[in-house]
A and B are shown apart, each in its own frame.
Chain A
């Protein structure tokens, strides 16, 4: 059916076909000359004063509003939908003044076109995703590479100028699309050379080779012994923490020895690494501790009758605390399963509690080039210095950023703290990201700002076509000083 000139919008599952010059069912996305364009108006953040900062605290707060009035302006103009400084010499589209506790502040708002940008993706999984430096592909095109492993996580570096503009046209376009999807909170399907297929989406559990990661274990079996040995001491004679990687045994482990826990005569199957640490007690699987073990006693050989005693108490538990069993030895030194005593229940629950939900997280990283900075001031290096000296606060869509030390303004921001669909793209290809600079009006004047373009906040709020979005409660309010927040 589809007309040749209609395009498919994938902003939501309705997947409208949109003809040129028309919008989809939502009236928020449209087809402009064959390109899918977000028609959302310029976004401003509202800080609700009467009932908390946003919906979440309003719903979750059980006490009523305490009567405090938030000081300073309650509206922050973001760069989302503001437009860019292109061509370079143009001042930023909005330079807004507002008064914060008696001080005149200015926020310079622009959408930056980032050719030098990418995302760092942290994937919580113990599975091997691929060798370091392997290419990461989307739709067959190289879009990034596997970088270091971190504790319990694998890191990918995607995008960057070499993939965006240094390769073939397809490579650039697919890279741009992948970055845009990840930054706007959509899923990306990635394939790693000599490695796994992964589906990542900011704030959602990763899917590795079709399997959803549920939880991060608190540590390997040996580490779990170390962490909980003290809590078990005196309440139990021996503990086995079953793990796909290293299974730990309390009485043999260094941690048990230090506490003076006596030998129990326990005998493990599998290959002993160092005392109390065993490799390969079973094959990987989906049962106990990521192994194929369904019957935990199957990994134990009979107890040594010279050492073990009748009534010996044994706990077997997985690294996530999801599986556990409690035994006492009978007169023939056979483990008999019994109900878990309350005194041990807490330690099992604590293991479980310490296993966090596995997530993919996406950090956007980009460098504000000279032309973007030229939209803020006629002397771009002064803006860099002002950011360095903490006189200028940088935000992306109102979300806090980390500015890398050293030259330039290279920043990182957690995309899930930004408003929805904050990113766009240009066909270069490059990503368009919102960026705001907030500083004192005096400082702005001193660094050569476009003083004749400064306009009061009130001049914007009466215009139509601005979209008001509640500020996220977890983000610091862009007008508030960090130092003051940490003191209060």
Chain B
């Protein structure tokens, strides 16, 4: 029997690659061989149903959420809805802002509920759900330009996550990525308790990194590029010219202020903002250990 989804083991023989429509996942489980096998089987079993499930409610998931509005019914869709709800009052946001993170969480849950693993990750196009067993840790690299292959030297920083920290989700957003952005950040990486929460927050913070009305920034109505985009007539960024360091600083300042509010309200744990080679990290002192590569020019602790 043939399904639309494609599944393969990557050439390293360890990582699993899942692909269906726009969903593109690389995942890996660690632990005993038979448990890994069991986890991968569960991941595939769950994965093949995900796209159809989401598409059944797609029109609703592309609508602005509001309190008391119609709620979706699918388990992934409800997770998306819950992740964007905290932003609904002050921002335009649809559940689609958390789709990648919510899918990553669902696949991870299928793996961890069926197998005993020491740790695992599910990376859905840069939005990552993590499972970290006691005493285990992950080293995460952050890329400054999500649109380019992460070759040596292009990481703007690394961070180490261990089982004592609450972070189980990582997401990155920026105007160069596959999704549209209202802002000009090259990359905003968010650490949060879940991947869906991180995904929604990355969208919000990346939108906040902006210089409204600046002539070097080209924007176009999302509908012009993609007629069924959930962003409709909102202007999305298509090009950002060379900015002065003062302008970079101003744009990052707006983003940092936004990230700071989200950290204070407990929605996220840390954020790293990247714009034209300058990086700002917003992280409480007790939060994950972040190390910036020499390229990073500025470092701010919230």
Contacts and interface: CB of A to CB of B under 8 A. Distances in A.
A27 B7 CA distance: 18
Nearest to B7: A55
B136 interface: no
B175 interface: no
Interface string B132-166: 00000000000000000000000000000000000
8 contacts: A12-B51, A13-B51, A14-B58, A27-B22, A27-B178, A55-B44, A64-B33, A470-B8
Interface in B33-48: 33-34, 37, 40-41, 44
Interface stretch (B107-115, B225-233, B266-274): B225-233
Contacts of B44: 55, 59
A225 B7 CA distance: 44
B22 A17 contact: no
Interface string A12-39: 1111111100101111000000000000
B51 A55 contact: no
A470 B11 CA distance: 9
Chain A at the B interface: SS class: loop
B9 interface: yes
B264 interface: no
Nearest to A464: B149
Nearest to A201: B2
Contacts of B228: 1, 16-17
Contacts of B8: 54-55, 468-470
Contacts of A90: none
B9 A51 contact: yes
Given A1-B227, A25-B178, A59-B41, 14 more contacts: A1-B228, A3-B227, A13-B21, A14-B21, A14-B58, A19-B227, A25-B22, A46-B11, A55-B7, A55-B16, A55-B44, A416-B2, A420-B2, A469-B6
Contacts of B4: 12, 185, 420
A50 interface: yes
Nearest to B16: A55
Chain B at the A interface: SS class: mixed
**4 smallest beta-carbon distances between A and B, as pairs:** A12-B21, A13-B55, A25-B22, A17-B227
Interface residues of A, number: 37
Nearest to A469: B8
Given A3-B227, A16-B226, A55 B9 contact: yes
B51 A14 contact: yes
Q: Which of B1, B20, B51: most chain A CB closer than 10 A?
A: B1
Nearest to A1: B227
Nearest to A65: B13
A469 B10 CA distance: 9
Interface string A44-69: 00101011001100110010100000
B89 interface: no
Contacts of A50: 13
A2 interface: yes
Contacts of A17: 226-228
A22 B13 contact: no
Interface residues on B, range: 20 to 34
A381 interface: no
B1 A204 contact: yes
B1 A203 contact: yes
Nearest to A3: B227
A460 to B, nearest CB: 16
B224 interface: yes
B142 to A, nearest CB: 22
Interface of B: 1-2, 4, 6-9, 11, 13, 16, 20-22, 24, 33-34, 37, 40-41, 44, 51-52, 55, 58, 178, 223-228
A11 to B, nearest CB: 7
A439 interface: no
B203 to A, nearest CB: 16
Interface string A448-486: 000000000000000000001110000000000000000
B7 A22 contact: no
Nearest to A29: B21
A203 B3 CA distance: 9
A59 B227 contact: no
A428 B223 CA distance: 33
Contacts of A27: 22, 178
Contacts of A6: 227
Interface in A399-438: 416, 420
A1 B227 CA distance: 8
A48 B9 contact: yes
A32 to B, nearest CB: 16
Contacts of B11: 46, 48, 468
Contacts of A14: 21-22, 51, 55, 58
Nearest to A22: B225
A365 interface: no
Contacts of A15: 55
A202 interface: yes
A136 to B, nearest CB: 22
Contacts of A12: 4, 20-22, 51, 55
A465 B274 CA distance: 29
Contacts of B21: 11-14, 25-26
Contacts of B51: 12-14
Interface string A319-346: 0000000000000000000000000000
A155 B55 CA distance: 34
Q: Which of B41, B223, B226: most chain A CB closer than 10 A?
A: B226
Interface in A363-399: none
Contacts of A64: 33
Given A12-B20, A185-B4, A19 B52 contact: no
Contacts of A11: 21
Contacts of A468: 8, 11
B17 to A, nearest CB: 9
Contact of A19 (B1, B13, B16, B225): B225
